[in-house]
A and B are shown apart, each in its own frame.
Chain A
Amino acid sequence: MKFPIRLIPDGTNLPFMDWVRIRTPISLALIVLSFALFFTIGVNQGIDFKGGTIIQAHNANGPVDIGTVRGIVDGLHFGDVQIQTTTSNGQTDALIRIALQPGGETAQTAVVDKVKAALGSDYTLENVQVVGPTVSGELARSGTLAVLFTIVGIMAYIWFRFEWQFGVAAVATLVHDAILTVGFFAVTRIDFDLQSIAAILTIIGYSLNDTVVIFDRIREILRKYKQLPIRDVINLATNQSLARTIMTSLTIELALIALFAFGGPVVRSFTAAMIWGIFVATASSIFIGGPILIYFNIRPKVVEERAEAAAAERKTDTTAAGA
C-alpha cells in the first residue's frame, strides 16, 4: 500500500451533474418521509420541551428490580410514567420518567418528594431533573428562534461574501439537512430536547461550512475559466473539493464515534444525531448545494452564452479530430 494513503484518487472526475435523476428523487423522498414521520408519529419530545420529571434511582443493595420500582411508582398515580434501566458506574439503576402533572409549578417539585418517600431509604436519587410548564414553553420557543436566527444570519453572511444565489442554495441545503435530522429523531425515537436543537444547529453550521468550501471553488473557477459552461464549472469544483470534503467529514466522524462509544450516556443521543447529520451534510453539500446553483443565473447571461458556444465549438473540434 502506498503511503500516505489517498482516499480520493487524484484526477477523480465523477459526473455529479449527471446524477440529478437519482439524486433528486432520493432527496425528495427523504424529505417527504421526514415530514410524514414528523406529522404522524412525531418526535419523542424530551423533558425540556414537554416538562415533567426524570429521576434516576439507585438501590444501595444492588441492581434495581424494575418490577418493584414500577409497582411503587404506579401506586402514586402520576399518569404517564415510563421506567427503564440505565447503567452508570457499572451499576444498574432505574430511570423513572414522569409526565407533567396538572397543577402548575409546585405540583412538579412535589413529585420528587413523593417518589423519594415512596421508594424509602434503600434508594438514593442519583439524578433528578424537573422542568415546570413555564420553562418548557420558553425553551421550545427559544429553540425554534435559535434555529431561525442561525438560518437568517447564515443567509446574510453568504449574501455578503458571494452572490444572493449562493445564499439561497446554501440555505436550501441546510434546511434539507435540518429536516432530515428531525426525521432521524422521529425514526430513532431519541429524546428530542435542547441538546437535539444544539445538534441541529451544529449540523447546520457544518453543512454550511462544507457548502461554502465548494462555493469558494466554484467562484474561483468561474473567474479563472470564463469560457467554461456553468455545468462543468460546478462539476469541476465539486470534484476538486471532494478530497477535502471527505477527509474533513471523516475526521469529525472519528471524533464523534469516540464520543459516542466513550462519552457516556448523557451525550449519546446528541452524538448519534451528529453522526447522522454530518453524513447528511456531507452528501448534501456534494449532491445538492453545488448542483442546485445551475438553476440560478450565477454568471451574466452574455458571458454564459459565449461560454456555451465556445464549448460547442470545442466539441465539434474534438469530433472532427476523432473522425
Chain B
Amino acid sequence: MLHFPRWQVIGIILIVFLGFLAVIPNFLSKDALAGWPSFLPKSQMVLGLDLQGGSYLLYEVDKNDYMDKRLKALTADVRQTLLTNPRIGYTGLGVEGQAVQLRIRDLSQLDDARQRLDKLRNPLDASVLSAGSVYEFDLTVGDDGLARFTYDPAGLTQRTRQIVQQSIEVINRRINGLGTTEPSIQRQGDDRILVEAPGLGDPSRLKALVGQTAQLEFHMVDGSISAQQAAANPPKAGVERVPDKSNPQLIWEVEDQALMTGEDLSDAQTAFDPQTNEPIVNFRLTTGGARKFGDVTAKNVGRPFAIILDDQVISAPTIRSPILGGSGEISGGFTVQTANDLAILLRAGSLPAKLTIVEEQTVGASLGADSIRAGVAAAIVATVFIAVFMILCYGILGLFADLALIANNFLMIGILTTLGATLTLPGIAGIVLTMGMAVDANVLIYERMREESHAGRSTIAALDTGFRRAFATIIDSHLTALIAAIALFELGSGPVRGFAVTLAIGIISTLFTAYLVTRLIVSGWVRWARPKVVPL
C-alpha cells in the first residue's frame, strides 16, 4: 500500500497542481486575467445573488388569465368566420365556463360550419416525439347543431411552453432595451420564468418592465360614462368597458373589435411635444398597419379613438384628419422615464400572457459583501481549528492530514470554479462542513494504524494495513453521505442546491485527498525518516 508506481505519484501531484491552478483566477482581477496565457484556466467562481447582491424574481404564466382572454378572442374569431360569405346563422354564441359554445340554426349548413370551425382549432407545432399534431382546442359539433370548443389538455401544456418561450424572448428584448444590467432569464419547469439580476438594489423598475403585459390596442370610442352609471347599466352588445388610467371614475365604452394592436407597430421612440414640452411616445406602423390605420381614420374623421394599454385607456384623441403617413404619437401625462419605458415595451412587443411573481428575493450589495466576509472568516477559523486539533491528536500524521486538507480545499474550489458552479452562502457552509468531514478518512486510517501497531505489527506493516483495512469503511461512509447530498440536490431551490453541490464535490475530493494524497505523503515520509514506531 505504501509503494507507488511513478505514474501514480506524477498523476496525484498533477491533479492537486491543476486544482491549485484552477483556484488562482478567483484571486485575480479581470484585468490581470486578460493578460493570462491562454492555456491556463481563466474561469472565476460565480457568486450567488446572496453574496453579490441582486434580485431574484420567479414568474409564473397566469394560465387562467390567458385562457379567459383566449376564449374571448376565439369567440370573436367564430363570429368573423361564420358571418363572412356565405353567412351561416347561429345563436347563443358565448363563453361557457372554460368553453366557447354556439348553436348552428340551419342544420343543413352543419357540415360547412364544422369545416369552417375546425380551422379555428389552432394547430400547434407538434413535438418530434408525438404522433400527429396537437391542437389547442377540441371541437365537438352535435347533430342538434350545438358546437363546443374546449381546451385540449396536451395542447394547453404545449401552448404554455410556447408562451414561456415567447415571453422569454420578449423579456430579453425589453431588458436589452434597458441596456444597464445583465440579468439572466431562464425557463423553470413548464410554466415559470426565473429572472436573476445581479447587483440591482431596487428591482421596481425591472419588475415594471418584465411584468407588464404591454398589450396595446386602438379602439373606436362609443362614449364615456361614470363608474356609477357603469355599475347600474349592463353594457350594450359589441361594446366593451375600459377604465381610464388617470381618472378611475371615468369609464370608456369602446367597440370591442380592435382597430390595431401592438403587432402593427414597427418602432416606438420617446420625443417631446413641441407645444407643451411634455414627454410623448412617437410610433411608426408597419406597412399593413399604416394602410389599416389610414382607412379607419379616413372613415372616422371627427370621432375619438382610445389608446388602450393593458386594459386601461391612456388617452382618447379625436381624429382631426386621416392619418396616412403611418406614424402617430401617444401622449398621456408621461414622465421622461415612463415614456421611455413605454417605448421600450412597445418596441419589444407584448407578452403573450400575464406573468405573476410567485417568489421574489432582493439582497442589498452591502449585505452580500457582509456575507462573503463572514463566510471567508468562518472558513479560515474552521481550517485553523481543525488543523490544530489534528496535530494535537495525531502529531506528525496529523500534520500530513492537514496538508491533505489544504490540498482538498484547493481541489474542491478548483472543481467548483471549473464547473462554473455558483457560490452561495450555504455553499460556503457546505465547504466548511466538508472540511470537518474531510479529516474523517484520516481519522479512520490513523485509528486503524494504532490498532494494528498495538496488535504487534511492525511499523511499516501497521501503516500499510491501516490504509488497506480502512478503505472499505471509508467508501461506505462516503457513499452514504453522497446519497444525502443527492437528496439535497433533488430538493431543489437555489441556495440549498448550492449547499448540496459543494457537499457532493467535497465528498468526492476528500476521498481523493484523504486517501491518496495522505498515503503519498506518508509513503515519502517513511522512506525519508524511516520511523521506528508508529507516532500515534
Stretch from A246-254, A289-297, A302-310 at the B interface: A246-254
Does B32 reach chain A (CB closer than 8 Å)?
Answer: no
Stretch from B138-146, B250-258, B492-500 at the A interface: B492-500
CB distance from A162 to the nearest CB of B (A): 9
Does A264 reach chain B (CB closer than 8 Å)?
Answer: yes
Query: Do A142 and B491 contact each other (CB < 8 Å), given the known contacts A194-B496, A208-B480, A255-B433?
Result: yes
Chain B residues, CB < 8 A from A89: 366-367, 370
In the complex, which of the residues B378, B477, B536 contacts A258, with contact meaning CB atoms closer than 8 Å? Answer: B378
A253-B535 Cα distance, complex, nearest whole Å:
26
B395 touches A113 (CB 8 A): no
Query: Do A244 and B447 contact each other (CB < 8 Å), given the known contacts A194-B491, A213-B476, A274-B433?
Result: yes
**B window 181-204: CB within 8 A of A:** 201-202, 204
Residue of B at shortest CB range from A252?
Answer: B436
Does A323 reach chain B (CB closer than 8 Å)?
Answer: no
In the complex, which of the residues A113, A198, A213, A262 contacts B488, with contact meaning CB atoms closer than 8 Å? Answer: A198
Does B155 reach chain A (CB closer than 8 Å)?
Answer: no
A104-B354 Cα distance, complex, nearest whole Å:
14
B58 touches A135 (CB 8 A): yes
Chain B residues, CB < 8 A from A158: 480
Chain A residues, CB < 8 A from B46: none
CB distance from A281 to the nearest CB of B (A): 12
CB distance from A181 to the nearest CB of B (A): 14
Over the window 145-168 of chain A, the binary record of Cβ atoms lying under 8 Å from chain B Cβ atoms (1 yes, 0 no) is 111011001100110010000000
Stretch from A35-43, A119-127, A227-235 at the B interface: A119-127
B483 touches A150 (CB 8 A): yes
In the complex, which of the residues B356, B363, B393, B487 contacts A105, with contact meaning CB atoms closer than 8 Å? Answer: B356
Over the window 168-199 of chain A, the binary record of Cβ atoms lying under 8 Å from chain B Cβ atoms (1 yes, 0 no) is 00000000000000000000000000110110
Chain A residues, CB < 8 A from B491: 142-143, 145-146, 194, 197-198, 201
Residue of A at shortest CB range from B487?
Answer: A150
A250 touches B483 (CB 8 A): no
Q: Classify the interface of chain A: helix, strand, loop or mixed.
A: helix
CB distance from B162 to the nearest CB of A (A): 21
In the complex, which of the residues B202, B391, B485 contacts A205, with contact meaning CB atoms closer than 8 Å? Answer: B485
A262 touches B487 (CB 8 A): no
Does A257 reach chain B (CB closer than 8 Å)?
Answer: yes
B385 touches A134 (CB 8 A): no
Does A212 reach chain B (CB closer than 8 Å)?
Answer: yes
B395 touches A3 (CB 8 A): yes
Chain A residues, CB < 8 A from B499: 198
Total CB contacts across the A-B interface at under 8 A: 239
A255 touches B432 (CB 8 A): yes
A244-B428 Cα distance, complex, nearest whole Å:
26
Does A209 reach chain B (CB closer than 8 Å)?
Answer: yes
Does B40 reach chain A (CB closer than 8 Å)?
Answer: no
Residue of B at shortest CB range from A206?
Answer: B481
B487 touches A270 (CB 8 A): no
Stretch from A4-12, A25-33, A63-71, A311-319 at the B interface: A4-12
Query: Do A127 and B433 contact each other (CB < 8 Å), given the known contacts A134-B60, A205-B480?
Result: no
A135 touches B367 (CB 8 A): no
CB distance from B356 to the nearest CB of A (A): 4
CB distance from B60 to the nearest CB of A (A): 7
In the complex, which of the residues A128, A146, A209, A217 contacts B480, with contact meaning CB atoms closer than 8 Å? Answer: A209
CB distance from B42 to the nearest CB of A (A): 30
Chain B residues, CB < 8 A from A248: 436-437, 439-440, 443
B487 touches A149 (CB 8 A): yes
What band does the interface of chain A fall in when counting residues whose beta carbon is under 8 Å from B?
35 or more
A130-B359 Cα distance, complex, nearest whole Å:
5
Chain B residues, CB < 8 A from A149: 487, 490
A258 touches B487 (CB 8 A): no
A208-B485 Cα distance, complex, nearest whole Å:
13
A127 touches B371 (CB 8 A): no
B495 touches A194 (CB 8 A): yes
A259 touches B357 (CB 8 A): no
Residue of A at shortest CB range from B434?
Answer: A255
Query: Do A4 and B382 contact each other (CB < 8 Å), given the known contacts A128-B361, A130-B359?
Result: no
Chain B residues, CB < 8 A from A194: 491, 493, 495-496
CB distance from A254 to the nearest CB of B (A): 4
Query: Do A135 and B359 contact each other (CB < 8 Å), given the known contacts A4-B392, A212-B477, A259-B378?
Result: yes
Chain B residues, CB < 8 A from A15: none
CB distance from A97 to the nearest CB of B (A): 14
A262 touches B484 (CB 8 A): no
Does B227 reach chain A (CB closer than 8 Å)?
Answer: no
**B window 351-384: CB within 8 A of A:** 356-364, 366-367, 370-371, 374-375, 377-379, 381-382
Chain A residues, CB < 8 A from B272: none
A252-B439 Cα distance, complex, nearest whole Å:
9
A257-B450 Cα distance, complex, nearest whole Å:
29
**B window 471-485: CB within 8 A of A:** 472-473, 476-481, 483-485
A201 touches B484 (CB 8 A): yes
B378 touches A270 (CB 8 A): no
Chain A residues, CB < 8 A from B359: 130-132, 135
A253-B433 Cα distance, complex, nearest whole Å:
9
Does B329 reach chain A (CB closer than 8 Å)?
Answer: no
In the complex, which of the residues A58, A105, A240 contacts B364, with contact meaning CB atoms closer than 8 Å? Answer: A58
Chain B residues, CB < 8 A from A195: 426, 495-496
In the complex, which of the residues A108, A113, A262 contacts B377, with contact meaning CB atoms closer than 8 Å? Answer: A262
A258 touches B426 (CB 8 A): no
Chain A residues, CB < 8 A from B496: 194-195, 197-198
In the complex, which of the residues B357, B447, B480 contacts A212, with contact meaning CB atoms closer than 8 Å? Answer: B480
CB distance from B357 to the nearest CB of A (A): 5
A302-B477 Cα distance, complex, nearest whole Å:
31
Does B390 reach chain A (CB closer than 8 Å)?
Answer: yes
Does A204 reach chain B (CB closer than 8 Å)?
Answer: yes
Chain B residues, CB < 8 A from A197: 491, 496
A58-B440 Cα distance, complex, nearest whole Å:
43
Residue of A at shortest CB range from B478?
Answer: A209
Chain A to chain B: the 3 pairs with minimum beta-carbon distance, closest first: A205-B484, A264-B374, A252-B436
Q: Which residues of A are in contact with B by a Cβ distance under 8 Å? A: 3-7, 10, 56, 58, 88-89, 104-106, 108-109, 112-113, 116, 124-132, 134-135, 139, 142-143, 145-147, 149-150, 153-154, 157-158, 161, 194-195, 197-198, 201-202, 204-206, 208-209, 212-213, 216-217, 240-241, 243-244, 247-248, 250-259, 261-264, 266-267, 270-271, 274
Q: 23 A-B pairs, CB-CB below 8 angstroms?
A: A4-B393, A4-B535, A5-B393, A7-B393, A106-B356, A116-B204, A128-B362, A132-B357, A135-B358, A149-B490, A150-B487, A194-B491, A206-B481, A206-B484, A208-B481, A248-B439, A253-B436, A255-B385, A256-B432, A257-B385, A259-B382, A263-B425, A264-B378
Add 10 more A-B contacts to A198-B500, A256-B432 (CB < 8 A). Answer: A4-B392, A126-B366, A129-B362, A134-B60, A145-B491, A146-B487, A202-B488, A205-B483, A251-B443, A255-B433
